[in-house]
Structure 1
Amino acid sequence: MTTTPIISLDDEPAREPLPCLVRFLGFDLRMCFSAREFLSCASGEETQCLALDVAMLSTTGPELQAKLAWLRETIPIVFIMAEDDHDRKQVLIRRGAVDCLLKPFDDELRDALDRAFP
């Protein structure tokens, strides 16, 4: 498998399972801890997929998705959700998200990343 840069955005850097799982699956990882940091950092230019928590503290994942659409950035997004919200999931998918994964997840992340990189 070719390694692919993935940016994981989350306001809580103590959450280690996602970065570890992404690396375990064989993908490169760049970490940004806020939407603002992501939008201002050079690594955003090389981002090929985003793993976003829906409920980030400063700017939510859906708000960043909307901002990227406004900027005409077409980066595949895999959203992470703590609560099963079917309606919200459908809205995010309609707006272009690859998937919305409910915590805890494992194999579902591999499947979503495979769809993000056809």
Structure 2
Amino acid sequence: MSYPDPQFSSIAIVDDDDAVRVGLRSLLRSYGYEANAYDSALAFLASGALGDYHCIITDLQMPGMSGIELLERLRRDGNPLPVILMTAFPEAALRKRAFQGGASCFLSKPFEANELLLCLKQASGSHNTTAEE
């Protein structure tokens, strides 16, 4: 089992699907991460907890504000927090926009736990880099 770097151990999960939030939170906690979940990007931003996290894992398509819109807002505000985007609809144009916007990783649902852990390792090593396609 791989344990998180203590400097990169707190993760926000943003997804409108309750089952995904619960499942991801349980998975991350089983690997030693601190994880809190939010049912929308707007709820996450309104929480005032942005500074409490080392990484955000967010769904791409959500009502109100999409995961890409959340990523773009963070970057406009000068926030380099690593963002991992996940989607059940991995269109090439969205993938390209995500990486151009500064996403650390792009996961297609469903994904294996080791894929997520690899994304977290990648994100922890580079807080403001763009992954190559």
**TM-score using structure 2 length:** 0.81
SS at the partner of 2:37? Answer: strand
> 1:98 — aligned with what?
104
Q: Compared with structure 1, are the counterparts of its residues 25 and 86 closer, same or farther at alpha carbon in structure 2 (3 Å cutoff)?
A: farther
Identity over aligned pairs, percent:
26
SS at the partner of 2:106? Answer: strand
SS at the partner of 1:92? Answer: helix
**TM-score using structure 1 length:** 0.90
Contact 1:53 1:80 in 2 (8 A): yes
Distance, in Å, in 2 between the alignment partners of 1:36 and 1:91 is: 20
The runs of at least 4 aligned residues of structure 1 exceeding 4 Å deviation read: none
Distance, in Å, in 2 between the alignment partners of 1:20 and 1:27 is: 10
SS at the partner of 2:110? Answer: coil
Can you give the 5+ residue segments of structure 1 that lack an aligned partner in the other structure?
Answer: none
Once the two structures are overlaid, the 10-residue window that deviates more, 104-113 or 38-47, is: 38-47
Once the two structures are overlaid, the 10-residue window that deviates more, 75-84 or 21-30, is: 21-30
User: How many corresponding residue pairs?
Assistant: 118
SS at the partner of 1:104? Answer: coil
1:74 aligns with 2:80: yes
RMSD of Structure 2 on Structure 1 (CA): 1.5
Can you give the 5+ residue segments of structure 2 that lack an aligned partner in the other structure?
Answer: 126-133
SS at the partner of 1:14? Answer: helix
Distance, in Å, in 2 between the alignment partners of 1:71 and 1:101 is: 24
